[in-house]
Amino acid sequence: MKIKRKTLFWKLYPSFLIISFISLLAIVMIALWSFKSFYYQERAVDLEIRAKILTPEFSRLIQSGNYQEVQKQSQQLGDDSSTRITIVLPSGKIIGDNKKDPATMDNHKSRPEIEQATRYGKGLSIRYGHTLAIDSMYFAMPIIVEDEIIGIMRTSTPLDTLQNALWSIYYKVSLGFFILIIITAFASWWMSKALVRPLEVMKVQAQRLAKGDFSSRVQLSSNDSLESEQLGQAFNEIAIQLNERIEIILNQRNEQEAVFSSMVEGVIAVDSNEKILRINQAAYNILKISEKEIEGTKLTHAIENIELQSLILFALKQNTTVGQEIILHDDVEQVLYAQSAPLLDIHKNKCGTLVVFNDITKLKEFELQRKEFVSNVSHELRTPLTAIQGLSETLIEFPDLDQEKKANFIGVIHTHSIRLEGIIENLLTLSKIEKETEVDEIDFVNESITLALSNAIFLCKDKALERNINIILNEAEDITFKHNPSLIEQAIINLLNNAIKYSNGNSEIKITVVKQAHDIKISVEDKGSGIPEEHLSRLFERFYRVDKARSRALGGTGLGLSIVKHIALAHKGSVSVTSEINKGSIFSITLPLENE
């Protein structure tokens, strides 16, 4: 069961009230008691003085034995001084009293004041008086003659008037007491409130801080104590400091978040319980995970790739970095390089692992292409070189070979050396175009395309005529745009050479130039052998040939179309081919009209 706790106000207020009540009551009681004591003392002194004044007179009368005179004097002197006077013999017998006939009064020897007076020379008592049936104060003193007590002089006064007066004072004091209690109750209430108020203000502020509102401040009034004000200032300082720190943390977090999400590398943080702590956008993209909430889920549920899973699980057990290539099998094969590093908490204890991975598919492709290229180049060069080497060795070994054979051998050596030169020249052209494209060094001239086309046709004309092939230029308009004329000329020459090479004799080659919305399309169409469909996509690769033997026989290097493609790319353009077996092929270069 939940105990309802009192608020500070309800702890302070009743305490203040009780303390005030008890203090006031004590003060009133002490005051009343002191007042009463003082009043009684005054009366007692008064009774004593009166007794002392009257004693000589009654001493004389008792000595004379005239008890009637004693009674008479008692009455007279008592009435005159408004005091009850009682004269008692040592035996206790009363011989004078101004309020009652002594003959009717009983023996007073045992009255406390008489006993005290006989024993100690003075007696005082406050008690109920049977004679007058009223509370009275009695004072008694012995009447001594020659060291002998001959009587006792008693003076007394009723206390009813005194008590009435005291009751009136009690009444007024009680009234005052209650008024004071009410005032004190209000004062205590106000004081408790005043004490509690700053704490309440600070409680509200603390609650706001707990809810994350750091903008509000403690507002204390000038009535609040110095300590409260200092506490409030300290509280405000805490809020300002917290606000500043949280802002710094938020900024840092946002910066980290921005870096994290804009990274091209995929990042996954996994804790020691194999749960995913964080994953960035790139990781979602690379791993093709739909962007559902996977943070907090088990690694084995979130990531399907077994290789990546095993790498992360292995990395969780290691204290060093672990790197590995991972193959993702999707529609297209993707290669990642993943590297993990231990994740440390603030105490430098390992609390998980951080895996960063890159998509290196392109890199791998480039590497493969480079290897293929190197092997292709070596292969292409080795063939003519082997032939040259073999033939020249035969010529050296057999100097007596007949002239015809020698001339034949030398002719073959010459053909191979021309081929070698062709390959090397083409390779150099390719690498030059690639390099210049990379560093943006290709010069563009705003010139009519007709010039480059005419030059190319002029340079290929003889070869075409040899085979009775007619080259026709179909140019609807004179198109001027920014291009590199010598490269375009080179590309058209390559296309024309192929068209001539792979055409039957007595045919024609058509060059068509079409201006489109944003580009210009130059097509070279022949009526040659055509190319089977399956080769079309790879035709522009280096050293790719449909029929190697035929290409070589025709003096081809396998680099012509690759050069055409790179020239188009250098102009930010593209190449394409359509072909039909035995009908011919159309090779096209599309170049943008706007080039910087």
Measure the CA–CA gap between 127 and 60, rounded to whole angstroms: 30
By C-beta, is 34 or 474 nearer to ligand ADP? 474
Residue with tokens 């960063």: 356
Measure the CA–CA gap between 402 and 398, rounded to whole angstroms: 10
Q: Please list, in sequence order, all residues whose beta carbon lies within 8 angstroms of the beta carbon of residue 515, skipping any fewer than 6 positions away.
A: 476, 477, 479, 593
- In this structure, how many other beta carbons lie within 10 angstroms of the beta carbon of residue 218? 21
By C-beta, is 538 or 572 nearer to ligand ADP? 538
Q: How far lies 214's CA from each of 27, 208, 237, 258, in Å?
A: 51, 7, 11, 25
Rg value, the chain, Cα = 66
By C-beta, is 83 or 557 nearer to ligand ADP? 557
By C-beta, is 506 or 516 nearer to ligand ADP? 506
Cβ 499 to ligand ADP, closest distance in Å?
5
Task: Give DSSP secondary structure letters for 382-407.
Answer: HHHHHHHHHHHHHHHH-TT--HHHHH
Cβ 418 to ligand ADP, closest distance in Å?
13
Q: Please list, in sequence order, all residues whose beta carbon lies within 8 angstroms of the beta carbon of residue 347, skipping any fewer than 6 positions away.
A: none
Q: List residues binding ligand ADP (CB under 6 A).
A: 498-499, 502, 526, 528-529, 531, 539, 544-547, 551, 556-562, 585
By C-beta, is 13 or 543 nearer to ligand ADP? 543
By C-beta, is 78 or 560 nearer to ligand ADP? 560
Measure the CA–CA gap between 393 and 305, rounded to whole angstroms: 59
By C-beta, is 299 or 460 nearer to ligand ADP? 460
Alpha-helical (H) ranges within 291-360 are: 299-302, 306-317
Beta strands per DSSP E along 161-313: 266-271, 276-279
Contact 508, 471 (CB under 8 A): yes
Cβ 510 to ligand ADP, closest distance in Å?
12
Which residues face 521 on adjacent strands?
514, 590
Which residues face 339 on adjacent strands?
323, 356
By C-beta, is 523 or 557 nearer to ligand ADP? 557
Supply the angle between the helices 485-501 and 449-466 in degrees, to the nearest 10. Answer: 30
Cβ 547 to ligand ADP, closest distance in Å?
5
Contact 479, 449 (CB under 8 A): yes
Amino acid at 265: E
Query: Which of 415, 429, 563 lies closest to 497 in space, CA to CA?
Result: 563
Cβ 515 to ligand ADP, closest distance in Å?
24
Phi then psi dihedrals of residue 579, to 5 deg: -150, 150
Q: Is 259 helix (H, G, I), strand (E, B) or coil?
A: helix
By C-beta, is 129 or 584 nearer to ligand ADP? 584
Cβ 429 to ligand ADP, closest distance in Å?
12
Contact 357, 322 (CB under 8 A): no
By C-beta, is 204 or 553 nearer to ligand ADP? 553
Cβ 498 to ligand ADP, closest distance in Å?
3
By C-beta, is 176 or 532 nearer to ligand ADP? 532
